[in-house]
Amino acid sequence: MKVLRTPDRYFKNIKNYPFRPIYTNISDKSGTELRIHHIDEGPKNGPILLAMHGQPVWSYLYSKMIPILNDAGIRVIAPDLVGYGKSDKPSLRENYSYQNQVDWMNQWMVKNNLENLTFFGQDWGGLIGLRMIADHPNRFMKISIGNTGLPYLPNTPKEVIDEINEFRKSKLRLTPLTMIREVRKMDSGKTHPALKFMYWQKFCWDSKNLPVGLLNSTMMEYKPKNEIRNHYILHILGLSKISPYMNHLMKAYEAPFPSPAFKMGCRAMPSHVPIIPDQSLEAQKKAREFFSKTNKPFLSVFAGNDPVTNDMEKDVLKMVPNAIKAPHIGGGHFFQWTKPKELSKVLIDFIKNKYD
């Protein structure tokens, strides 16, 4: 397996990310060494929150929340998934299977001897983290998730699967605006969600130089359509660095990727979300059986206005009979950035037993 590593200089000018890097070396099943980065901030004797990010972000997503949580006496450990942030980046699409991601992060957790954890995961951080909990339940005390879930759709109609496969192979070329328009229809209830999520999957895979900074900016801050369009044109021309629309947020999310070759994880992982039956089906079923029986405190804290995951909350509450549902706090898909105070308060209250 060929592995890429982002040089430290690419992270030098990032605003409001003063955290000391910690690195752990693990071994892939192929024998290849992978270096995983994480940060560990706050009182060493405080309750531990393991905060996991998704795609296409990195631990920078939690940079607004960490000081709030630390001030409340909570120690925050936030890793970068393999393929993201300061962690190593395998170069091939097939490297980023769901099972590989779970295996890598399990090994990272065990090697760091992390125990007595409260978990919070969002997006892929939830998909991977929930599987980690099912594999190592004794390492976790409490579980919280938002804007994520544990997809398990064994009975997806064949015509839906065929339509998705044909769509993925089609020559249709999407732009950020056309993709966003379709994805925003996901919670309309008028069609199978996989038929909308496929637009995100196809856009990510077909974009060899995925505009990560632009995509995250559109989800975390107001971005007029003309700015999205104009920056995207400059991006595909290879001129994004001189774009007048490139701000500090966009720079922070482009920093891990010196060239398009480093973006394989961001491009590949949406297609590995098991929104239709795939090789992860049995592992998902096993994990869901664990959560259906667990007595660990479980908090569902969703934004409530994220079209990609709104319907997932119903499935989470059905999957986990003892789950507590927190009020929706808004903020869209990446509410760690848009609602850091509100989300931090919910998690602080959960950790300090105010939901019990």
Residues of the chain with CATH 3.40.50.1820: 3-153+279-351
Integer Cα distance of 14 and 35 in angstroms: 21
Average pLDDT on 196-215 reads 96
Between 184 and 188, the more confident residue is 184
Question: CATH classification of 3-153+279-351, choosing from 3.30.565.10, 3.40.1710.10, 3.40.50.1820, 3.40.1520.20?
Answer: 3.40.50.1820
pLDDT of residue 190: 67
Q: What six digits make up the tokens of 74?
A: 């909570």
Of 88, 103, 135, 306, the active-site residue reads 306
For residue 333, indicate whether it is catalytic.
Answer: yes
Q: Is residue 41 within 8 Å of 132, Cβ to Cβ?
A: no
- DSSP letters along 283-352, please? HHHHHHHHHHH--S-EEE---S--TTTHHHHHHHHHH-TT-EEPPP----TTHHHHSHHHHHHHHHHHHT
Average pLDDT, the chain: 95
Q: Which residues of 71-80 are buried (b: 16+ CB within 10 A; e: fewer)?
A: ebebbbbbbb
Q: Is the confidence at residue 185, as pLDDT, over 90?
A: no
The pTM score is: 0.96
What's the DSSP call for residue 81? P
pLDDT bracket for residue 186 (50, 70, 90) = confident
pLDDT of residue 192: 86
Integer Cα distance of 78 and 121 in angstroms: 10
**Model confidence pLDDT, tens digit, residues 275-294:** 888 999 999 999 999 999 99
Average pLDDT on 128-156 reads 97
CA-nearest of 103, 150, 154, 98 to 276 is 154
Of 88, 103, 123, 135, the active-site residue reads 123
**Model confidence pLDDT, tens digit, residues 255-279:** 999 999 999 999 999 999 998 889 9
